[in-house]
Amino acid sequence: MSRTFYVTTPIYYVNDVPHIGHAYTTLAADVLTRYKRLMGHEVFFLTGTDEHGQKVEKAANAAGETPLELADRVMKRFQALWEKLDISYSDFIRTTQERHKRGVSHIFSKIMEQGDIYLGEYEDWYCTPCETFWTETQVIDNKCPDCNRPVEKLKEESYFFRMSKYQEALLAHIEANPDFIQPKSKRNEIVSFVKEGLRDLSVSRTSFTWGIPVPGNEKHVIYVWFDALTNYITALGYPDEAGDFARFWPADVHLIGKDILRFHAVYWPTFLMAAGLPLPKKVFAHGWWTVEGQKMSKSLQNVVEPNMLIDRYGVDAVRYFLLREVPFGLDGDFSHAALVHRINSDLANDLGNLLNRSTAMINKYFDGLVQTPEELTETDSAYRAKTEEMVRQVEAFMEELAFSKALQAIWEVVSAGNKYIDETAPWTLAKDPSQKGRLATVMYCLLESQRLVYFLLSAFMPRTAAKGLAYLGWEGAPAADGLSWGMLREGTRITKAEPLFPRIEDKIE
Ligand code: ME8
């Protein structure tokens, strides 16, 4: 029986077009998904778009469209980018879909019926760009404490969620589940925030209409974050608690950016508690990308457009760079120079060269046919042991979502391969007919080690892995049962590889 795994990305607002930040979260979810699938899990990978709320309504008005026209147009751009980035999602949810609206109405009614949503009056501040409510004491000079943009005073009838009631239960949950909020520094921030005291949360609005109506009181629309967070269960068929919901809920991990941690680590768990549903196992907040040292913003015109990057450098180079350059959980800086450096040194030089050298030599010395190895020497065994250690390390690092460490572990074996060639000097062995068996063994070790490298790389760089494995004569998709040493068979035909990643020589502006 296969184990299930459920991973989600945020659902992205349709008032903005996709940029490198959105691509980052979605890519991380994809790599985790592909790795878990490789290891034999049945994975449900959810992404989608957040299409309701005042922000989207305003953007649509400004564009002279209806909100749904805007959403239809922009969600296609997200889907097109995910296709181009080789994102293997299982489902794409839109909050304007019937299945979602039905689930949101249901959970709202359920919480209302049991007394944790009540009608009151709201008089405080609202930040539309963040879709967030603030109190008098939280706003600073009429500005949002999160994004520093102007807030507006709201006084309206509103439904409130009794969030205060769940303060202690949430703290106890965080305490009892040290891995619930990651990374650790972020967990501490949330604990302090909750300890300061949770107020009841306004969960409806009357001043605009683009949203899901409050059941039984259509003057109100449901607060966009209440609506959006619920996507993680409506996509599984909730309120139907059989089927996918039973199979995949609670989520194994919600991947998000640090900007929206409070919604996922405070609001969402308390909504679920009130609805009597299990909480997600983990919420992981990654850091933010700046661009060439600056905050990415439309006004600075420095928004990095993933389509352009992929056209210029290739999809796998972009996938590699984003996850290798910055430890997941920390902030990072994007620069073209850093990307070109990674391509030239890690991909062209280390990875590509190793494959070229090895496949060229086996063609030269053995007509491209894998030979059965003799007994391994100490050097061979050390190389083999390092390769086997890589498989275990990657497993441990992926468990922690330490993508860059997993890639580092793989690259240690790539470097070891290049060093192994220098040490064993196959060209010298080839000159001595009595060393034929020894030469065959060296070739075997080189190719078998790389087979395992490409197996693991299939999660990160699916196209490169497929190419690498094709050169290595491996038929079929990589799978967990092929992750041990010694499966490359005698007689397998190895093709001389073309460079996987040509060096980039051009000067980058
Ligand atoms: O917040 N660096 O949607 P959103 C890294 N609809 N990641 C970044 C980034 C950057 N510079 N900029 C954005 C929303 N992101 C809500 C979510 S979920 C129920 C509702 C990524 O379109 C990061 O994952 O503003 C962040 O959390 C997300 O985009 C915000 O996307």
Tens-digit pLDDT profile for residues 346-359: 999 999 999 999 99
CA-nearest residue, atom 31 of ligand 1: 12
Query: Average pLDDT for residues 304-333, to the nearest whole number?
Result: 96
- Smallest CA-to-CA distance from 21 within 224, 254, 265, 305 is with 305
13 lines ligand 1 (CB under 6 A): yes
Confirm if 443 and 371 have CB atoms less than 8 A apart. Answer: yes
Phi, psi of 82 (to 5 degrees): -65, -35
Range of the domain at 342: 336-482
Give the model's pLDDT for residue 137: 86
How far apart CA 326 and CA 417 sit, in angstroms, is 25
CA 10 / ligand 1 centre spacing (Å): 7
CATH code at 432? 1.10.730.10
Going 74 to 144 to 28 to 307, the CA torsion angle's sign is: positive
Q: Are strands 217-222 and 204-205 parallel, antiparallel or unpaired?
A: antiparallel
**Rounded Cα gap, residues 3 and 342, in angstroms:** 35
Among 14, 16, 24, 294, name the best residue to mutate to test ligand 1's pocket (greatest count of ligand atoms within 8 A of Cβ): 24
Mean pLDDT of 484-504: 96
Q: What is the mean pLDDT of residues 204-231?
A: 97
173 lies in some domain: no
Say if 225 falls within a structural domain: no
Residue 507: pLDDT above 80? no
Question: Does residue 285 line the site of ligand 1, with CB under 6 A?
Answer: no
Q: Is the pLDDT of residue 504 over 70?
A: yes
Please report the sign of the dihedral spanned by the C-alpha atoms of residue 340, residue 345, residue 351, residue 355: positive
256 CA to centre of ligand 1 in angstroms: 7
Whether 23 maps to a domain, the answer reads no
Evaluate whether residue 90 is within a structural domain: no
Instruction: Decide if pLDDT at 1 tops 80.
Output: no
Closest CA to 494 of 367, 401, 389: 367
Over range 85-89, report the average pLDDT. Answer: 98
Q: What is the pLDDT of residue 38?
A: 98
Least confident of 76-90, 138-152, 204-218, 296-310: 296-310
Ligand 1 in contact with 296 (CB < 6 A)? Answer: yes
> For 326-342, what is the mean pLDDT?
96
Task: State the burial class of residue 196 (Cβ atoms within 10 Å of its Cβ: 0-12, 13-18, 19+).
Answer: exposed
Question: How much is the pLDDT for 2?
Answer: 66
Q: Which residues pair with 155 in a beta bridge?
A: 123
Pocket test for ligand 1, best of 15, 255, 260, 323 (most atoms within 8 A of CB): 260
Question: What pLDDT does 298 receive?
Answer: 76
Q: Residue 103's pLDDT is what?
A: 98
228 lines ligand 1 (CB under 6 A): yes
Termini Cα distance of the chain = 53
Is residue 277 in some structural domain? no
| Ligand 1 centroid to residue 257 C-alpha, Å | 6
- C-beta 235 within 6 A of ligand 1: no
* Secondary structure E strands in 98-167: 117-127, 132-134, 152-161
pLDDT at 313 over 70: yes
Is 352 among the domain residues? yes
Ligand 1 within 6 A of 22 CB? yes
Q: What is the pLDDT of residues 278-312, one digit of tens each?
A: 999 999 999 999 998 888 887 778 888 899 999 99
Residue 235 near residue 91, CB atoms below 8 Å: yes
Average pLDDT for 427-442: 98
Q: What is the mean pLDDT of residues 221-228?
A: 98
Pick from 176, 193, 177, 189: nearest CA to 281: 177
Q: Which pLDDT score, from 0 to 100, does residue 508 have? A: 54
Q: What is the pLDDT of residues 251-271, one digit of tens each?
A: 999 999 999 999 999 999 999
Position of tokens 């980039």?
504
Which residue has the least CA distance to atom 12 on ligand 1? 21
* Phi and psi angles of residue 157, each rounded to the nearest 5 degrees, phi first: -65, 140
Measured between alpha carbons, how far is 490 from 447 in angstroms, rounded to an integer?
12
Whether 428 is covered by a domain: the verdict is: yes
Q: How many domains does the chain have?
A: 1
Whether 404 is in a domain gets the answer yes
pLDDT at 232 over 80: yes
Asked if residue 142 has pLDDT above 60, the reply is yes
| pLDDT reported for residue 454 | 98
439-455 per-position pLDDT tens digit: 999 999 999 999 999 99
- Taking the centre of ligand 1 as the mean of its atom positions, its distance from the CA of residue 290, in whole angstroms, is 14
Contact predicate 231/99, CB 8 Å? no
The average pLDDT across 386-413 equals 98
Give the model's pLDDT for residue 17. Answer: 86
Whole-model pTM above 0.75? Answer: yes
Bridge pairing between strands 42-50 and 91-94: parallel
> Is residue 14 within 8 Å of residue 49, measured between CB atoms?
yes
pLDDT at 509 over 60: no
Mean pLDDT of the chain: 96
* Centroid of ligand 1 to alpha carbon of 136 (angstroms): 26
List the beta bridge partners of residue 289. Answer: 332
